[in-house]
Amino acid sequence: MKNILCILAASVLLCGCATQITSPEQSANGTTMAFDPYAGGYSVTGKQLGLGDFPNITKLWLRGGFDKNRQNEFFQLYIYHWSQTGWLFLNSASDIDATVLPVHVLSQDLAVTGGGTVEEHVAIDLTRDYLLTHQTNGLNIRIMGSKGSLVVTVNGMYIQGFLQKFDALKLNPK
């Protein structure tokens, strides 16, 4: 039992380490696409990045999509926050330039089986123009809640690689 707990603790710690993107290709290679026949469109999911460390682990990725006619594209920054220190009740966001960004609260769950941990999932709507503007300097966004806030950063190479792969997939969806 002790060995299992040690392995579990090590896994959690390793999963919480920050992910470093060092080239646009690294981001592009981690970006995937799927078709949903029920929605009639494609979803594109960027490489998952890990931020933070135990006891609060944050994972994020860009995601987007377009319809079967390759129109009506959308982009979001998806944030998953796991915490042993309590709720933030994330519900709003703005970037380092004080631009208010629309937030969708997707879920706020209490994981009793995990020793009372909490999970919060939010998505921040972004536009193509916003991503293009930030593909050099990256994203620096503060997500606020009634019990605290969380700052997430994404470097420009991640955005460049995601957009390159998104556009390639949009030109030739399979």
For 116-127, how does the pLDDT look when each residue is reduced to its tens digit (9 = 90+)? 788 889 999 999
Supply the pLDDT for residue 73: 96
End-to-end CA distance of the chain: 46
Structural domain boundaries of the chain? 2-171
**Cα-atom radius of gyration of the chain, to the nearest Å?**
17
Measured over the CA atoms of residue 109, residue 77, residue 136 and residue 127, the dihedral's sign is negative
Percentage of the chain beyond pLDDT 70 is 86
Supply the pLDDT for residue 167: 96
Supply the pLDDT for residue 1: 41
Nearest to 57 by CA among 20, 102, 11: 11
Rounded-to-integer distance, Cα 9 and Cα 7, Å:
5
Supply the pLDDT for residue 5: 34
Q: Per residue of the chain (174 residues), give pLDDT as tens.
A: 443 333 334 344 434 456 789 999 999 999 999 999 999 999 999 999 998 777 788 999 999 999 999 999 999 999 998 888 777 889 999 999 999 999 999 877 666 555 678 888 999 999 999 999 999 999 999 999 999 899 999 999 999 999 999 999 999 887
Supply the pLDDT for residue 24: 96
